[in-house]
A and B are shown apart, each in its own frame.
Chain A
Amino acid sequence: QSVLTQPLSASGTPGQRVTISCSGSTSNIGSNFVYWYQQFPGTAPKLLIYRNTERPSGVPDRFSASKSGTSASLAISGLRAEDEADYFCAVFDDGHDNLSRRWMFGGGTRLTVL
């Protein structure tokens, strides 16, 4: 069970704006950068957002993200049918000692375009 909590599902109609949340704690989101990935069935994840808000080249500016305290969110504006996919947040968790530090992924959110 992931300690990064994402809603299991989200949906919207074409053209709408949808947001996906990722809730963590002071040892992960509260202390480190958040990353977002998009994954289509049967394919590898693709980096959408790095360092909380930055987009790699080639990622449309319809995708944006923010972070506040121990939560982060991904926003998709001008929703398109091709955005239907799974979305994961990722962050490093500092743990309570050096041995418990690790990279973590959220459980994922399935986005449906209605």
Chain B
Amino acid sequence: QMQLQESGPGLVKPSETLSLTCTVSGGSISLADVYWGWVRQAPGRGLEWIASIDYTGRKSSNPSLRSRVSISVVTSKNEFSLRLRSVTAADTSVYYCARHDDLHFMDVWGTGITVTVSS
């Protein structure tokens, strides 16, 4: 059964770059018609899609975050990563990685990682 696991620092200073990695186990990241995405949830708030990428590097991102977001994939490690630049307190959230496809949208999720932006 496929599992996803987020990793990265839980605390980032304002104006710095948030970097997270999602490791995929129990299956290959190199699947046709499958995307790998990031979603975040601020405390007590709803869900916000950040960006998605497939194994070829084809990517898409939320227009509201696009200027600060980078997403990448390393197929040899079966992992994909997120970088969010120039963070502020508003970026404090639980960050989830997830698998999605055209049929199910996001059907397999990581457990989430809490990232706090604070000096």
Contact = CB atoms under 8 A, between A and B. Distances in A.
Contacts of A63: none
Given A44-B96, A47-B105, A103 B49 contact: yes
Interface in A1-38: 2, 33, 35, 37
Interface residues of B, number: 22
User: What is the size category of the interface that chain A forms with chain B?
Assistant: 20 to 34
Given A44-B96, A44-B111, A100-B63, A105 B49 contact: yes
Which A-B residue pairs are the 3 nearest by beta carbons? A44-B109, A103-B49, A105-B47
A102 B63 contact: yes
A108 B63 contact: no
B103 interface: yes
B104 A47 contact: yes
Contact of A50 (B46, B105, B111): B105
B2 to A, nearest CB: 13
A42 B19 CA distance: 22
B106 A47 contact: yes
Interface of B: 37, 39, 46-49, 52, 60, 62-64, 96, 98, 103-107, 109-112
B107 A56 contact: yes
A105 B104 contact: no
A105 B46 contact: yes
A108 B96 CA distance: 17
Contact of A108 (B37, B46, B64, B107): B46
Contact of B48 (A47, A100, A105): A105
A34 to B, nearest CB: 9
Interface string A80-112: 000000001010000100011111111110000
A47 B111 CA distance: 14
Contacts of B107: 47, 50, 56
B104 A50 contact: yes
A62 interface: no
A104 B60 contact: no
12 contacts: A45-B47, A45-B109, A47-B105, A47-B106, A50-B103, A50-B105, A56-B107, A88-B46, A99-B63, A102-B49, A105-B46, A105-B47
